[in-house]
Chains A and B, each alone.
Chain A
Amino acid sequence: MNNEQQHALLRKMAQLMKSGLETQTEPFPETEKEFAAILDELRKLDANDVEAKMVISGFVDHPYGPDRQRCMECMYYLVHREWCDLPELAVPVDADWWCRLWRI
């Protein structure tokens, strides 16, 4: 994916959330096993089905929870590429977004 495609996808994802896409923010995977179960769901998807990925992983376009968690501090976030490096997601993300696969 080149820069232009990446930015286009980022804009599309932002638009989806802005227009009210309902995603599964809860339950937050408390344990590694629950986390792995969500990854299993993601692996069954077509890699290009970004909307389904967003729904299952619970994307929101703002910090989340009492600790104001956001992609910026997530271990999978690559700051310079503005990219989620979790192989099951592999999508562009904004630093202020969040999803329930957040890990630090």
Chain B
Amino acid sequence: MANLLWLQGGACSGNTMSFLNAEEPSACDLVTDFGINVLWHPSLGLELGDNLKKLLNALTSGQMPLDIFVFEGTVVNAPNGTGEWNRFAGRAMRDWVSDLCKVANFVVAVGDCATWGGIPATAPNPSESQGLQFLKRDQGGFLGKDYKSKAGLPVINIPGCPAHPDWITQIVVAVATGRAGDLTLDEFQRPKTFFTSFTQTGCTRNMHFAYKVSATEFGQRKGCLFYDLGCRGPMTHSPCNRVLWNRQSSKTRAGMPCMGCTEPEFPFFDLAPGTVFKTQTVMGVPKDMPSGVDKTGYIKLTAAAKAASPRWAEEDIFVV
């Protein structure tokens, strides 16, 4: 039986909504099949007021073991580093986080806000938000770069806006069932099993990417979303086209460009109208190339791809 506590800082509850829709395994399976004891969760917890405080104090004092601490949302430090803008159970949430991370065997950050600060930490960052162990690309964050939980692991980051529900439950199960040793993390502390390949891997529009045929509108069934709609699939690490959403789709399959939400820089660019859903170019050439491709190679590839492009690449193919 592993004790799990889930708290929420500066967040929209998106990751909670995602988690509650998990299917492989589901949130219920965590309890019934994997013996996880969900001590408290913002949408599921029964305790209120003093009873909740009692529970939290029992955990921070070591009276009750905390096996897995899941945190959703940013650590809010405003105003002036006090964290008073985000109070919970009688004190600043940041103080609870600090104390709970000292006693937890494993700490799991769920969603972009908890991992890198996400949208709340975008300049000018009025809530002085931080991720648990990163602020954007910089390691450190609220807990500092040297932080390790009692089991000896840094914060396990499961990014995404929101994180896919099954990424969350599968990592929680791995940790709860003693398989944490099998987890390998990348440089941003993301489990490699999910975050080694790209969103483009498994994209049904890859043939259009190969032949440089572009979709020019949202929802269009033909064409690649990279060139004209700002899709970040070729440079974003995520399995969105392998571990499908609702078991059957993904943004790119629905005609919506990947926004790169599993990368620390999300949200990209200046969020001014007309900048987000557009591949930024310099003199007509993409500013951010697909990972591992240089400008000269890309231009040569394009010329060859256009020359070899088959007629069907220009037709309206229904892709799901």
Which residues of A does B touch, CB under 8 Å?
28-33, 35-36, 67, 69, 72-73, 75-81, 85-87, 102-104
Contacts and interface: CB of A to CB of B under 8 A. Distances in A.
Which of A36, A76, A104 has its CB near the most chain B CB atoms (within 10 A)? A104
Chain B contact-residue range equals 20 to 34
A87 B311 contact: no
Contacts of B228: 75-76, 103
Interface of B is mostly: mixed
A7 to B, nearest CB: 17
A76 B212 CA distance: 9
Nearest to A87: B216
Contact of B281 (A73, A79, A103): A103
B216 A80 contact: no
Interface string B270-311: 000011001011111110000000000011001100110101
11 contacts: A29-B284, A72-B306, A75-B227, A75-B228, A75-B302, A76-B214, A79-B309, A81-B314, A86-B216, A102-B284, A103-B228
B306 A79 contact: yes
B213 interface: yes
Contact of B217 (A33, A67, A78, A87): A87
A2 to B, nearest CB: 17
A33 B303 contact: no
B305 to A, nearest CB: 9
A31 B286 CA distance: 10
A103 B212 CA distance: 11
A32 B227 CA distance: 12
Contacts of B217: 87
B283 A79 contact: no
Contacts of B282: 30-31
A80 to B, nearest CB: 5
B293 to A, nearest CB: 12
A104 B212 CA distance: 8
Contact of A32 (B212, B216, B275, B311): B275
Contact of B298 (A36, A72, A103, A104): A104
B220 to A, nearest CB: 10
Nearest to B227: A75
The 8 A-B residue pairs with the shortest CB-CB distance in the complex, in nearest-first order: A75-B227, A103-B284, A80-B311, A78-B314, A75-B214, A79-B309, A36-B274, A73-B303
A104 B314 contact: no
B281 A32 contact: yes
B303 A72 contact: yes
Contact of A80 (B283, B285, B314): B314
B299 to A, nearest CB: 6
Contacts of B275: 32-33
A76 to B, nearest CB: 7
A59 to B, nearest CB: 15
Nearest to B223: A85
B283 A30 contact: yes
Nearest to A39: B274
A104 B299 CA distance: 7
A103 to B, nearest CB: 5
Nearest to A70: B303
Nearest to A95: B306
Nearest to A29: B284
B298 to A, nearest CB: 7
Contact of A103 (B227, B274, B306, B311): B227
Nearest to B299: A104
A73 B212 CA distance: 9
